[in-house]
Chains A and B, each alone.
Chain A
Amino acid sequence: MNNPKLSIVDLTKRYAPGLDPAVDCLSMSVEEGHLVALLGPSGCGKTTTLRMVAGLMDPTSGSIMVDGKDITQTPVHKRGMGMVFQSYALFPHMDVAQNVAFGLQMRKVGSKEQNRRVVEALDLVKLGHLAGRQVKELSGGQQQRIAIARALVVEPTLLLLDEPLSNLDAKLRENMRTEIRSIQQRTGATTLFVTHDQDEALDMADRIAVMNGGIIEQYGAPAEVYERPQTHFVADFIGQANFFASAVVADDGAAADGERSYVVDVDGFGRFGAVGAAGLAGSTHEIVVRPHRLKTSLQQPAGPFIEGVIERVSYTGDSLSLGLRAGGKELLSQMPTASSGIPRLGQTAYLSWDPADAFIIPGTAGIPHGTERPATADALAAQDVA
């Protein structure tokens, strides 16, 4: 990222003095042509961040730079952005073509050029035939696409999408995901996308910024955020997860991608393998194992395992989700279905994992897992040194 399209530096928004900031010293940069998702629960500051980038809201402090130029003080109408609102915000008193042409008129584009670009933009969203329609005659999906055409026709410096899919029904949402992604890639528009839907973010984004409480918990590629969550919140918010409080007992040598293999002592379940960043030996951390990476079998496996009782079985056709109780802990696992041998409630199952599938979350150091846990970890570490 040597030449970021957008960089946000120490951006802070405090709605009132004394209140916790809605956005707290947030910094990130977005590469040209990327689609970046701001993902988080409601109230995490993602929409506030987007509105500050758009210029609809003044930051309390910090700066926003586009193409290396500070635009923090630039008024909204001079920023040259394109935005698609959750409600689409089409102008109800204009027809489709007038809606799309509005931004061009503001830029004093000649009427011939206007017509050409409106047609082009409507063709881009495959709604060229609706140019003369009134806005209220359109379906939600069509309105959405018109809103995208209206934002893109001005060739915006940044395309900002504020939960654009949340008002569509499930089926249409799937289609629009692909549609938006393909339009974005064809136009190469650098895009900031606010969503609370992790599937949407994983599916569409080049980079995901997982936000919580006004800060970015983790910023990275979808696979990175999913496979290598840096905090408990990220692991928990994106996808399903099993967490185990573990003492990292010993470094077990190099793993793939510059990571290290470790031997961990999982709280109450014995010693397992896990991977993580260098230098974690001797500390206490949480490890995360995704349900579909938990190997579940009804026979005792050879290596270390966790024994659990099946409490919940949910069969979806191509996969089987299990809820298990093991040592007072609720665990989730997923397995491909077989035509026979479906696990039953109350049966005992054995869980294990490949060391590469258990990730030591670095951001959870020092979390008190149990009252005596740190002491035990210290003792274990001391034992190992000896």
Chain B
Amino acid sequence: MSQNTLAAHPPAAARTAAPVFKPRRKTGTFVFNALVFLLYLFLLAPLLIVVVISFASNQYLSFPPEGFTLDWYAALPGQETFMSGLRISLITASAVTVLVLILGVPAALALARFRFKGKAAIQAFFLSPLMIPSIVLALGLVLLFGPLKLNNTYAGIIIGHIAVTFPFVVRTTLMSLATTDTSCEEAARILGGDSWTVFRRITLPLIRPGVIAGGVIAFIVSFDEAVISLFVAESGLPTLPVQVLRYVENSADAAVAALSVLLILFSMAVVVIVERVMGLRKAL
């Protein structure tokens, strides 16, 4: 009998204890969610305002909206400056992505897999553009490109953008390399693979997430870059960000807002597609 009461006791206690904890956890979750919501609101507010304004019938860039219209979107294809800017930006960003991967991946490979003199210094040098203000870099490039006749050329912008995006590619590739087992490469070499075959069939597939992440970041950074493009090629080859800057200087309607919304969607699409297809998150 006494055994029975003992056995029955703990579950009863647990039952009474459970409702005491539940509401407290609920309040905690609510406060946490509210804080997260506010944080996101704060971060995304500028974007949201741009989205709202792009549909507003206000004559000038202003808030709050006075009515709904799709005119700003409809007008975009007719804006020759935007369309040519977009073309220049896409060409630049594509070329930069390809070239920076061709340069950056082997550089990262050398840093990760070989031992040589001055390795630490070279690594610091490769990553240094992240720490230099891009306006300083841009000024230097203009002065350097003058005598080389590279100002206002694709070559000039692309070189400038490679300098800015190179550290990203080296970084993401190094991260992937650090997590791959070098014995896979050794096994492939022992099985008869020469250096190039081993790189192509083993190393590259293994570090693919890092390479893709680096490529995506390089594309977006180059596509978005304004300072170097402005300094190096404002008059000759104005990229989309340069055209947007110019447009805002001269006129104040919401066409820029509509363009911005499309660019946001474009960037999101790139990231989402790459994530879905290749698993970007693994590398970041």
Contact = CB atoms under 8 A, between A and B. Distances in A.
B192 A103 contact: yes
Nearest to A153: B191
B183 A106 contact: no
Interface string A70-104: 00000011111111011101111100000000110
Contacts of A150: 187, 191
A77 B186 contact: no
A76 B190 contact: yes
B190 A82 contact: yes
B191 A79 contact: no
- At the interface, is chain A mostly helix, strand, loop or mixed? loop
A77 B189 contact: yes
Interface string B170-193: 000000000001011011111111
Contacts of B193: 77, 102, 106
A6 to B, nearest CB: 15
B186 A89 contact: yes
A54 B184 CA distance: 14
A37 B184 CA distance: 23
B191 A106 contact: yes
B202 interface: yes
A153 to B, nearest CB: 9
Contact of B187 (A55, A85, A107): A85
A308 B54 CA distance: 97
A56 interface: yes
A22 interface: no
Given A85-B183, A87-B181, A87-B183, A103 B205 contact: no
A103 B191 contact: yes
B80 interface: no
A90 B194 CA distance: 18
B206 A77 contact: no
B188 A91 contact: yes
A154 interface: yes
B177 to A, nearest CB: 15
B183 A154 contact: no
Contacts of B183: 85-87, 89
Contacts of A80: 192
Q: Which of A77, A85, A92 has the most CB of B within 10 A?
A: A77
Interface string A100-135: 001100110000000000000000000000000000
B181 A89 contact: yes
Contacts of B205: 93
A83 B190 contact: yes
Interface size class on chain B is 10 to 19
Interface in A48-81: 54-56, 76-81
Contacts of B181: 87, 89
A82 B190 CA distance: 7
B153 interface: no
B197 interface: yes
Contacts of A78: 192
Contacts of B186: 54, 56, 76, 83, 85, 89
Interface string A373-386: 00000000000000
A89 B184 CA distance: 5
A82 B201 CA distance: 18
A54 B190 contact: yes
Given A85-B183, A89-B183, A102 B188 contact: yes
Interface in A139-188: 150-151, 154
Nearest to A147: B187
A91 B190 contact: no
Contacts of A93: 205-206
B190 A107 contact: no
Given A87-B181, A106-B197, A76 B189 contact: yes
Contacts of A86: 183
B188 A56 contact: no
Q: Which of B184, B187, B201, B205 has the most CB of A within 10 A?
A: B187
A54 B206 CA distance: 23
Q: Which of B181, B183, B188, B190 has the most CB of A within 10 A?
A: B190
Contacts of B184: 89-92
Nearest to B184: A89
Nearest to B187: A89
A102 B191 contact: yes
B190 A56 contact: yes
Contacts of B190: 54-56, 76-77, 79, 81-83
Nearest to B183: A89
A92 B191 contact: no
A79 B190 CA distance: 7
Nearest to A85: B183
A150 to B, nearest CB: 7
Interface string B96-140: 000000000000000000000000000000000000000000000
Nearest to B205: A93
Q: Which of A79, A102, A151 has the most CB of B within 10 A?
A: A102
Contacts of A56: 186, 189-190
B187 A154 contact: no
State the 10 A-B residue pairs at the shortest beta-carbon distance, nearest first.
Answer: A106-B192, A103-B191, A89-B183, A89-B187, A93-B205, A85-B183, A76-B189, A83-B190, A89-B184, A77-B192
Interface of A: 54-56, 76-83, 85-87, 89-93, 102-103, 106-107, 150-151, 154
18 contacts: A56-B190, A76-B186, A76-B189, A76-B190, A77-B190, A77-B191, A77-B192, A78-B192, A87-B181, A92-B184, A92-B206, A93-B206, A102-B193, A103-B192, A106-B191, A106-B192, A106-B193, A154-B191
